[in-house]
Amino acid sequence: MTLNNFSAVNVFAKKLVNDEISIFQVIKGDKIKLFDEPTFIKLNDLAFHNGVIEVKVKSKVLPDAPDFARGFIGVAFRINENNSEFEAIYVRPSNAQSTNQLRRNHTTQYFSYPDYKFDRLREESPSVYESYAPIALDEWIDLKIEVQGLQAKLFVNQSLYPVLIINDLKHGNSIGSIGLWVEVGTEGYFTDLKIDFSQK
Question: Does residue 17 sit in helix, strand or coil?
Answer: strand
What is the phi/psi pair of residue 103, to 5°? -65, -40
Is 167 strand, coil or helix?
Answer: coil
Q: Which CATH class is domain 3-196?
A: mainly beta
User: 31-45, pLDDT tens digit by residue?
Assistant: 999 999 999 999 999
Average pLDDT across the chain, whole number:
96
**How confident is the model at residue 19, as a pLDDT?**
76
| pLDDT tens profile 47-56 | 999 999 999 9
Q: What is the pLDDT of residue 199?
A: 62
pLDDT given for residue 43 in this prediction: 98
C-alpha–C-alpha distance, residues 65 and 73, integer Å: 14
Contacts of residue 125, defined as CB under 8 A and 6 or more positions apart, other chains included, come to none
Give the domain ranges of the chain. Answer: 3-196
pTM value is: 0.96
141-148 and 73-79 strand pairing: unpaired
Question: What average pLDDT does this structure show over 157-163?
Answer: 97
CB 14 within 8 A of CB 97: no
Angle at alpha carbon of residue 9, lines to 7 and 10, rounded to 5°: 145
